[in-house]
Structure 1
Amino acid sequence: MSEKNGWVLDIGIHSEHSRRQVNETKMLLTFISHIGTGKTITAQKMGELFYNMGLLATPQVVECTVADLLGQYVGQTVPKTRKKLQEGVGRVIFIDEAHRLVHGQYATEAVDELIQFLTRPSHKGKIIVILAGYTADMHNLISTRPALASLFPEEITFDNIPLDDCIALLAEELEFSKFTSEAGFLTNPSSPDYGKVKRLFRAMQSIPRWSNARDIRNLPRRILGGFLGSIDYDCAHQARVISAAHITDCMGQMITQQKERRTATASNNKTASSQQPPGRGMGSHPIMFSPQPATPPPAVSTSYALRAESSFSVADNSASIRTQGQGLNSFLTSQAAAVDKGTNGPQNDRNTQGQNASSADIREEGVFDVVWQELAKTKKIESARRVLRDTEIK
C-alpha cells in the first residue's frame, strides 16, 4: 500500500482484478505542491510500482518540462509534443512546470496535441501521465483549460514538509558531513534550542516560494561554511560540534536573505509591468512578445552634417521620384545637367545663371509640391557642398 496525504493506492501486485481495473482506466494525474516536496521521487516510485504489477513495459520515468514540448517557431510544437508523448508509451511521463501551459499560442497547440494523444483508444492503459506544478499555478491551469480538468480527474496534493521532519532532515545532513549539534539538541524535541529551530523553520515556510527540501539542504552549507571559517585548524582535536547559537544565527540570516529577495522580485515585477507596452495576449513565449520600439539613430557629427544631410535628402528624393513616371525622369535629367554646368556655384556670372534658370527652374506637369521643394533644397545643398570642396582644394 502506498499513501500520500490521504490519497491511497491500494492495488495488490498479484491481483488480476486490480490489474484489469487499472488497465481499463488511463492513469492521468496532477501533482500539486510547493517546491521540493518530492514530486519527482514519487513519480519514480510509481513507475516501479506499476512495472512490478505488469502494467508498464519498463520502470523508467520520462522526465521533462513544458520547454521540451513547445517549439520555437510555428509548426514545431505539435511534432515535439507528439514525439515526447510517444517516448512515454509504456512508461510514466512526468511533465514538470505544467502550469506554463496556461497562456500562449504554442501552449494551446501542446495542450490540444496532449488531449488528442491521450484520448486515442490505442493508448488506453499504456501510459501514465503526471502533470506537476505549484499549487496556485496548477489551479489556474485547470480552470483555464477545462479539457484538462475532465481528462486529469485525480489530483494529489503535496503539503509542506512538517516542521519536525525539517529538523530531522537538517540533522541528517549535518551527520552525513560528520558534524553534530551541540548536546544533540536537533534530535531532542524537549530541548529549548529545538523549539527555537522549529519556530525558525515555521518562519521560513511562511515566505512565498519556500523550497522545502531544497532549502533545507542549502542550510547545512551555510552552517558549515561559517563554522569551518571560525575554527582553529592548528587544533587537531577540534570537536566537530556546532553550537545552537551558530545554527540559529545562520537560519536567521537565511530568512533575512529570502525576504530581501522576495521584496526585490516583487518590486522588479511591478516596475516591469508598468513599463511593458500593452500586448495582444499571446502569452509569454519569446517569439510572441510584442515588438519593442526601435532604437533612435545616433547623432551625426557636425563636421559631416552637411554631407550626411545631402546624402539622406538625395536618397529620400530618389525613392519619391521613382513614383512620378517618365515625365519626372526628364525633369531630373535637366536638373542634373544644370547642376553639372554650375561647378563654380555662386561664382558663376549672372548670364550663366540666367541661362541655367531658364532650363532648370521649369516645373513639368505631374510633379508634386513636396517633391519640387525637396529637389530645390537638394540642389542648394549640392551647390554649397561644391563650394566647400573647391575652397578646400584652393
Structure 2
Amino acid sequence: MNATTPSALLEATGTRAVLAQLDAELVGLAPVKGRIRDIAALLLIDKLRAEQGLQSTPPSLHMCFTGNPGTGKTTVALRMAEVLKQLGYVRKGHMVAVTRDDLVGQFIGHTAPKTREVIKKAMGGVLFIDEAYYLYKPENERDYGAESIEILLQVMENHRDDLVVILAGYRDRMDTFFGSNPGMASRIAHHIDFPDYSEAELMQIAELMLGQLNYRFDEQAVPAFGRYLNLRRQQPHFANARSIRNALDRIRLRHATRLFQADSALSKEQLTTLQAEDVLASRVFGRQETTA
C-alpha cells in the first residue's frame, strides 16, 4: 500500500477546506494564519508517523491568543476547533467560549462545580477563555478564581488529548497573568499575537461585510468611509472589525431613514447602495471625541 502524502491527507481530512475558509473570511493576519497552518502541519505529520508505526505522542496544543478586541481571535479559535476535529485530535470540534463569570462562583463551594460543568461541555473540543487574566485577582484574598485555575491546570495536563484550552486577552495583561501563574504558563505551547488591522485592511473588511449583506458603497462613499476610519481609529475604544460592523450598522440605519422619506418606488440600486451622505452624517466628523 502506498504511503499517504501530506497533501492527500490535507485534502482527505477536509483540513484544506477549513484553512481556505479561514483565509477567505479573515482579512490580513498573515502571521496568525501561518501559525495555524504550522499547527495543522504538525498534526498531519503526526498522523503520517503513526501510519508508519513511528512513535506518536499527541502534542500539547493549549494556546494563548493576544491582541486588541475585534482582531479575529474568536473566529480563529472556531476554525482551530474544526481543524483539530478534522485531524482526529478532538472528538467533536466544537468551541465553548466563556469568561470569568462562567467559571468562578461568588460563594464558597460554587466555583468548582461551575468550572467542572464548563469543562464537561467543552470536552472533545476547544475551551476559549476570553480576558483570562480576570481569573486571577491577587489583591482579593477571598477571591475564588485561584480555585478555578487549579481545576483548569489539572484538566489541561490530564485531558490534553481531548481538550484544547485557548486563553485570550490583551498582551500586557496576559504577560502579567502568566508571570503570576507559572503552572499555567508552562502548559501553554503556542502564543499567537493578533495585530491591529491597517486602514486598508479595515476598508477591505467593511466591503466584505457589506457584500455579505448585499450592500455596497458608491464612488463617493468609499473616500468618505476612508475619512471616517482615519478619525475613528484615533478615538478611544476602537475595536477593529467589531467597530467596523457597528459603524456599518449605523450607516445602514441612516441609509434606510433617507430612503424611507422617498415618495416613489425604490429600485434595487437604491436599496443596495450606500452614499457619502450616509457616512458623513456620523458624529465622528463633527465631534471627534464621540464614538458614533
Q: Same fold (TM over 0.5)?
A: yes
Query: In structure 2, the residue corresponding to 1:55 is in which secondary structure?
Result: coil
Q: Deviations over 1:280-312 (max 9, x none)?
A: xxxxxxxxxxxxxxxxxxxxxxxxxxxxxxxxx
Q: Distance in 1 between matches of 2:203 and 2:287?
A: 15
Q: Distance in 2 between matches of 1:136 and 1:78?
A: 28
Percent identity, aligned pairs only? 25
2:91 equivalent among 52, 57, 65: 57
> How far apart are residue 154 of structure 1 and its match?
1.7
- Partner residue of 1:112? 150
**Which one of the candidate residues 152, 174, 177 is aligned to 1:141?**
177
**Is 1:45 the equivalent of 2:79?**
yes
Q: Which runs of 4+ in 1 moved over 6 A?
A: 18-22
2:264 to 219, 227, 235: 235
Q: Which runs of 5+ in 2 are unaligned?
A: 1-15, 20-30
- Taking only aligned residues, the RMSD between alpha carbons, in angstroms, comes to 3.0
CA distance, structure 2, for counterparts of residue 90 and residue 34 of structure 1: 28
* 1:287-306 equivalences in 2 (<5 Å): none
Question: Aligned partners of 2:265 and 2:49: how far apart in 1?
Answer: 65
Deviation at 1:77, TM superposition (A): 1.0
Structure 1 regions of 5+ residues with no counterpart?
Answer: 187-192, 260-394
Q: How does 1:1-394 map to 2 (within 5 A)?
A: 4=32, 6-7=34-35, 8-9=38-39, 10-11=41-42, 13=44, 15-17=47-49, 23-103=57-137, 104=140, 105-120=143-158, 123-183=159-219, 186=222, 193=223, 197-231=225-259, 232-237=261-266, 240=270, 241-250=273-282, 252=285, 256-258=289-291
Task: Report 1 or 2 for greater relative contact order, CA contacts < 8 Å, sequence distance ≥ 6.
Answer: 2
Q: How many residues align?
A: 249
Structure 1 residue 245: deviation in Å?
Answer: 4.6
- Aligned partners of 2:88, 2:287: CA distance in 1, in Å? 47
**Counterparts of 1:129 and 1:22, CA distance in 2:** 21
2:290 is paired with a residue of what secondary structure? helix
Quote the Cα distance in structure 2 between the aligned partners of 1:119 and 1:163.
41
* Cα contact 1:23–1:124 (8 A) shared by 2: no
Q: Distance in 2 between matches of 1:146 and 1:109?
A: 15
* Structure number with bigger Rg: 1
TM superposition shift of 1:118: 2.3
Q: CA deviation at 1:6?
A: 4.9
Query: 1:336 maps to which residue?
Result: none
TM-score relative to the length of structure 2: 0.73
2-structure distance, mates of 1:21, 1:102? 38
Tell whether the 8 Å contact from 2:61 to 2:164 is kept in structure 1 after alignment: yes
The range that moved more, 47-56 or 171-180, is: 171-180
Structure 1 length normalisation: TM-score?
0.56
In structure 1, C-alpha distance between the alignment counterparts of 2:56 and 2:62, rounded to whole Å: 11
Q: 1:236 Cα deviation (Å)?
A: 1.9
Question: Deviation digits for residues 224-279 of structure 1, max 9, x if unmatched?
Answer: 222333344212256524333542442536954229xxxxxxxxxxxxxxxxxxxx
Letter in 1 for 2:217: S
Contact 1:203 1:255 in 2 (8 A): yes
How far apart are 1:66 and its partner, in Å?
1.7
In the TM superposition, what whole-angstrom CA distance separates every residue of 1:306-334 from its partner, at most 9, and x where no partner exists? xxxxxxxxxxxxxxxxxxxxxxxxxxxxx
Structure 1 residues 149 and 178: alpha-carbon distance in aligned structure 2, compared to 1, 3 A threshold: closer
Task: Rate the CA distance shift 1:92–1:18 in 2: closer, same or farther, 3 A.
Answer: farther
SS at match of 2:42: coil
SS of aligned partner of 1:119:
helix
Could you give the per-residue CA deviations for residues 138-163 of structure 1, whole angstroms, max 9, x where no partner exists?
22222232322222142111112232
Q: Is the 8 A contact 2:156 2:164 kept in 1?
A: no
Shift of 1:124: 3.8
Give the letter aligned to residue 112 of structure 1. Answer: E
Counterpart code for 2:201:
D
2: distance between equivalents of 1:177 and 1:86?
Answer: 37
Helix, strand or coil: the match of 1:4? Answer: helix
Task: Using the TM superposition, give the Cα deviation of residue 107 of structure 1 relative to its aligned residue in structure 2, in angstroms.
Answer: 1.0
Using a 3 Å threshold, how does the CA distance of structure 1 residues 59 and 177 change in structure 2: closer, same or farther?
closer
Residues 34 and 210, structure 1, Cα contact 8 Å, conserved in 2: no
